[in-house]
Amino acid sequence: MATQYISTRHLRFLLHEVLDAPALQRFPYFEAYDRDAFDMTLDAAKQIGDTYLFPFYTAMDKDKAHVENGEVKVHASVRPALQAFGEGGWISSTDSFDAGGQQMPLTLFNSALMIFYAANSNTPPHAFLTQGAAHLLRSFASAELQERFVPLMYAGQWQGTMALTEPQAGSSLSDIVSTATPHPDGYFQIKGQKIFISGGDHNAVENVVHLMLARIEGAPAGAKGISLFAVPKLRDEDGQLVSNDVITAGIYGKMGQKGYVAAHLQIGENDNCRGWLVGEPNRGLSYMFQMMNEARIGTGLMAAATASGAYYAALEYARQRPQGRHPSNKDLSLPQVLIIEHADVRRMLLLQKAVIEGSFALLLQCSLYADLEKHAQGPEQRKAHLLLELLTPIAKSYPSEMGTLAVSNAMQCLGGAGYCDDFPIEQYYRDIRVNAIYEGTTGIHGLDLLGRKVMMENGEAAALFAQEISETVGQAMQADTLRNMAIALGDAAGNLQKVTMHLFGIARNERAEVFLADATLFLEYFGIVTIAWQWLRMAVAAQRALPDAAGEQEKAFYEGKILTAQYFIEYELPKTKGLHQRLSSPERVTMRTASEHLD
Amino acid sequence: MATQYISTRHLRFLLHEVLDAPALQRFPYFEAYDRDAFDMTLDAAKQIGDTYLFPFYTAMDKDKAHVENGEVKVHASVRPALQAFGEGGWISSTDSFDAGGQQMPLTLFNSALMIFYAANSNTPPHAFLTQGAAHLLRSFASAELQERFVPLMYAGQWQGTMALTEPQAGSSLSDIVSTATPHPDGYFQIKGQKIFISGGDHNAVENVVHLMLARIEGAPAGAKGISLFAVPKLRDEDGQLVSNDVITAGIYGKMGQKGYVAAHLQIGENDNCRGWLVGEPNRGLSYMFQMMNEARIGTGLMAAATASGAYYAALEYARQRPQGRHPSNKDLSLPQVLIIEHADVRRMLLLQKAVIEGSFALLLQCSLYADLEKHAQGPEQRKAHLLLELLTPIAKSYPSEMGTLAVSNAMQCLGGAGYCDDFPIEQYYRDIRVNAIYEGTTGIHGLDLLGRKVMMENGEAAALFAQEISETVGQAMQADTLRNMAIALGDAAGNLQKVTMHLFGIARNERAEVFLADATLFLEYFGIVTIAWQWLRMAVAAQRALPDAAGEQEKAFYEGKILTAQYFIEYELPKTKGLHQRLSSPERVTMRTASEHLD
User: What tens digit of pLDDT does each residue of A526-538 get?
Assistant: 999 999 999 999 9
Chain A partners of B172 at a C-beta cutoff of 8 Å?
323-325, 336
Tell me how far apart the alpha carbons of residues A563 and B592 are, in angstroms, rounded to a whole number: 8
Give pLDDT, residue A211.
97
Going by C-beta distance under 8 Å and a sequence separation of 6 or more, which residues neighbour residue A110?
A297, A301, A363, A364, A367
Give pLDDT, residue B103.
98
Angle at A64 between CA A63 and CA A70, to 5 degrees: 110
Q: For chain A, say whether B424 makes contact (Cβ under 8 Å).
A: no
| pLDDT digits 0-9 by tens, A426-460 | 999 999 999 999 999 999 999 999 999 999 999 99
| DSSP state string for A32-52 | T--HHHHHHHHHHHHHHIIII
Tell me how far apart the alpha carbons of residues A227 and A229 are, in angstroms, rounded to a whole number: 7
Tell me how far apart the alpha carbons of residues A544 and A574 are, in angstroms, rounded to a whole number: 26
A575 vs chain B: nearest CA distance in angstroms? Answer: 5
Chain A partners of B557 at a C-beta cutoff of 8 Å?
599
Question: 529-548 in B: which are within 8 Å (CB) of A?
Answer: none
B414-448 core/surface letters (b: 16 or more CB in 10 A; e: else): bbbbbbbeebbbbbbbbbbbbbbbbbbbbbbbbbb
Q: Are A591 and A514 in contact (CB under 8 A)?
A: yes
Question: 115-134 in A: which are within 8 Å (CB) of B?
Answer: none
| pLDDT digits 0-9 by tens, A26-62 | 999 999 999 999 999 999 999 999 999 999 999 999 9
Give pLDDT, residue B1.
53
Angle at B496 between CA B495 and CA B500, to 5 degrees: 115
CB hemisphere CA count around B174 (13 angstroms): 16
Give pLDDT, residue A2.
65
Q: How confident is the model at residue A330 (pLDDT cuts 50, 70, 90)?
A: confident
Tell me how far apart the alpha carbons of residues B159 and B155 are, in angstroms, rounded to a whole number: 10
Q: For chain A, say whether B478 makes contact (Cβ under 8 Å).
A: no
| pLDDT digits 0-9 by tens, B193-239 | 999 999 999 999 999 999 999 999 999 999 999 999 999 999 999 99
- pTM of the shown model: 0.98
Chain A partners of B570 at a C-beta cutoff of 8 Å?
582, 585, 587, 589
Q: Which helix (H) or strand (E) holds B72?
A: strand B71-73
Which residues of B261-399 form beta strands (DSSP E)? 262-267, 274-278
Residue of A nearest to B313 (CA): A599
A206 vs chain B: nearest CA distance in angstroms? Answer: 27
Give pLDDT, residue A1.
53
Chain A partners of B581 at a C-beta cutoff of 8 Å?
574, 577
| pLDDT digits 0-9 by tens, A374-403 | 999 999 999 999 999 999 999 999 999 999
Angle at B551 between CA B546 and CA B555, to 5 degrees: 35
ipTM above 0.95, yes or no: yes
Chain B partners of A324 at a C-beta cutoff of 8 Å?
171-172
Tell me how far apart the alpha carbons of residues A348 and A210 are, in angstroms, rounded to a whole number: 42
* C-alpha B156, offset from chain centre: 21
Give pLDDT, residue B132.
95
Report residues of chain B scoring pLDDT below 70: 1-2
Q: For chain B, say whether A412 makes contact (Cβ under 8 Å).
A: yes
Name the β-bridge partners of B71. Answer: B68
| DSSP state string for B140-192 | HS-HHHHHHHHHHHHTTSEEEEEE--BTTBSS-GGG---EEEE-TTS-EEEEE
| Average pLDDT over every residue of A199-218 | 98
Q: How many CB atoms lie within 10 A of CB B73?
A: 17
Q: Are A536 and A473 in contact (CB under 8 A)?
A: yes
Tell me how far apart the alpha carbons of residues A525 and A536 are, in angstroms, rounded to a whole number: 17
Angle at B219 between CA B218 and CA B221, to 5 degrees: 115
Q: For chain A, say whether B256 makes contact (Cβ under 8 Å).
A: yes
The 3-state DSSP composition of chain A as helix, strand, coil percent (nearest 5) reads 65, 15, 25
Question: 33-62 in B: which are within 8 Å (CB) of A?
Answer: none
Tell me how far apart the alpha carbons of residues A380 and A74 are, in angstroms, rounded to a whole number: 45
Residues of B designated catalytic? 439
Give pLDDT, residue B171.
87
8 Å CB contact of A437 and B418: yes
In 3D space, the residue among B39, B53, B41 whose CA is nearest the CA of residue B5 turns out to be B53
Torsion sign across C-alpha atoms B310, B316, B319, B320: negative
Per the prediction, chain A carries an average pLDDT of 97
State the Cα torsion A536-A539-A544-A548 to the nearest 10°.
170
Phi, psi of A442 (to 5 degrees): -55, -40
Max Cα–Cα distance, chain A, nearest Å = 88
Give pLDDT, residue B2.
65
Q: Are A373 and A385 in contact (CB under 8 A)?
A: yes
Q: Are A287 and A139 in contact (CB under 8 A)?
A: yes
Query: What number of residues does chain B have?
Result: 599
